[in-house]
Amino acid sequence: MSYDNVEVPDDGNAITVDEDTGELAVPSNPIIPIIYGDGIGTDVAPAAQQVLDAAAEATGRSIEWMRLYAGESARERYDENLPDETVEAIREHRVAIKGPLTTPVGSGFRSLNVALRKRLDLYANVRPTYHLEGVPSPVKNPEKMDMVNFRENTEDVYAGIEWEAGTDEVEQVREFVEEEMGETGVIHDGPVGIGIKPISEFGSKRLIREAIDYAIENDRDSVTLVHKGNIMKFTEAAFRDWGYELAAEEYGDEVITEDTLWEEYDGEAPEGAVVVKDRIADNMLQQLLTRTEQYDVLAMPNLNGDYLSDAAGAQIGGLGIAPGANLGDGRVLAEPVHGSAPKYAGEDKVNPTAMILSGRIMLEQLGWDDAADLIRDAVETTISAGEVTYDLHRQIEGGTKLATSEYADAVCARIEELS
């Protein structure tokens, strides 16, 4: 495909999908699109690029970067926020990484992050949460947190099906709801906005399948379905029910339920079996703190996943180090959890760790586990040595405060030492 405002590297090769296995076929020099993003994206994305390049080189590979545009940078070049060729370039090249994009609250247009996920059908938002030695945390034992959150990415309230107060459409929906419920007063009189929350069997099962597959492949003990099914019987309770149904239909002895664990095994899971259980969302927020070590992989509808993953991130030091990625069938879009923080843009001061570790997830998806492990070790060694950006420096004693670019240099130096 040819592009108007995108330069395709001459030296790299495209990532493809093996038709027989559905797995990514990755050359040693893949072309990988990158969107710097808005605000601090122009600081953290180049830092992440530098570290990812160093890890690739240390393991005998290279990354050929293809710069794409979305948000402010796209408006300058295309006069729109999310150009078609940005989406098509990611679709064609299959694996990409992006920085944060800004969506003004109440501005009248949808989140660009959500739009990218939906247009590319990146249905699983994956957020590993683990503590790095040396990172200050608000909890006593942050090392107990080692959890991977699988958040459904396309449905729930994030589907964007809603109507604005005062419109004819919202009144039609109000009338329909009250007629169907058989009573008036279900929705308060006066101006009201109304949204619809779709949760489907198809969307739920493919997300939960990703979570269970991950748990099996990575020797995790359990998958917890997090829902509010005690209140929302036909959406979130259905998510839970479809999860148990999937586990029974597709996994055989590889998976057992929590009830089976206690009824047949007295709480001791058989070797290699993954326990599938469920928790009410508000209770799960509490158990993140009180029983952290009892949870490995969480699978959740979209909104629950947003809340839970941020809460988990707080326990390991905050969103400045929290990575994420969006997965679809044969596609990956890595992105940090944090926002664009425009007031710090261009100051070369913010922490790029979240985007660096998001790149680590991307490398794992490429099958480059050696390079991915090298990045984690280098980041942890750098932080443990007290070489940190301002956000962590103000919480520790005796450290060295580094600019964003200096921190990237320090991590790259550790990669060279460790490789």
pLDDT for residue 339: 87
Torsion of CA 368, 370, 374, 380, to 10 degrees: 90
According to the annotation, is 111 in a ligand binding site?
yes
Residue type, 151: R
Annotation-wise, does 151 bind a ligand? Answer: yes
- 232 phi and psi angles, rounded to 5 deg: -100, 90
> Any known ligand binding at 102?
yes
Tell me whether residue 390 is annotated as binding.
Answer: yes
CB 320 within 8 A of CB 132: no
**pLDDT the model gives residue 241:** 98
State yes or no: is 306 an active-site residue: yes
> Cα–Cα–Cα angle for 239, 242, 244, nearest 5°?
110
Q: Can you tell me whether residue 377 is helix, strand or coil?
A: helix
- Asked, colleague to colleague, whether 1-137+316-419 and 200-314 share their fold, the answer is no
**Pairwise CA distance, residues 240 & 205, whole Å:** 10
Q: Is 209 annotated as a binding residue?
A: no
Rounded distance between C-alpha atoms, residue 336 and residue 342, angstroms: 15
Let me know: does 132 contact 382? Beta carbons within 8 Å. Answer: no
CA 81 to chain centre: 21
Report DSSP letters for 186-201, one per residue: SS-SSS--EE-----H
HEC assignment per residue over 336-362? CCCCCCHHHCCCCCCCCHHHHHHHHHH
Q: What is the pTM of this model?
A: 0.93
Calpha distance 82→79 (Å, rounded): 9
Contact 73, 376 (CB under 8 A): no
- Given the residues 98, 118, 197, 228, the one annotated as active site: 228
**The one catalytic residue among 38, 43, 278, 306:** 306
Concerning whether 228 is annotated as a catalytic residue, the answer is yes
Q: Is 248 helix (H, G, I), strand (E, B) or coil?
A: helix
Give CA–CA dist 203/249, Å, rounded: 16
The CATH H-level (homologous superfamily) assignment of domain 1-137+316-419 is Isopropylmalate Dehydrogenase (3.40.718.10)
- Which entry of 18, 84, 282, 369 is annotated as an active-site residue? 282
Q: Which residues of 238-249 are buried (b: 16+ CB within 10 A; e: fewer)?
A: bbbbbbbebbee
**346 annotated as a binding-site residue:** no
* 343 carries a ligand binding annotation: yes
d(CA 46, CA 18): 31
Q: Is 342 marked as binding a ligand? A: yes
pLDDT tens, per residue, the chain with 419 residues: 788 889 999 999 999 999 888 899 999 999 999 999 999 999 999 999 999 999 999 999 999 999 999 999 999 999 999 999 999 999 999 999 999 998 655 455 568 888 899 899 999 999 999 999 999 999 999 999 999 999 999 999 988 899 999 999 999 999 898 888 876 667 888 999 999 999 999 999 999 999 999 999 999 999 999 999 999 999 999 999 999 999 999 999 999 999 999 999 999 999 999 999 999 999 999 999 999 999 999 999 999 999 999 999 999 999 889 999 999 999 999 999 888 989 999 999 999 999 999 999 999 999 999 999 999 999 999 999 999 999 999 999 999 999 999 999 999 999 999 99
Q: In 10 A of CB 367, how many CB atoms? A: 13
Distance between CA 37 and CA 39 in Å, rounded?
7
Q: Is 36 annotated as a binding residue?
A: no
CA distance 3 to 73: 16
Options 158, 214, 295, 407, the catalytic residue: 158
How far apart, in whole angstroms, are the C-alpha atoms of residue 393 and residue 13?
A: 41
Specify whether domain 200-314 bears CATH 3.30.160: no
Domains of the chain by residue range: 1-137+316-419, 162-195, 200-314
Query: 339 a known binding residue?
Result: yes
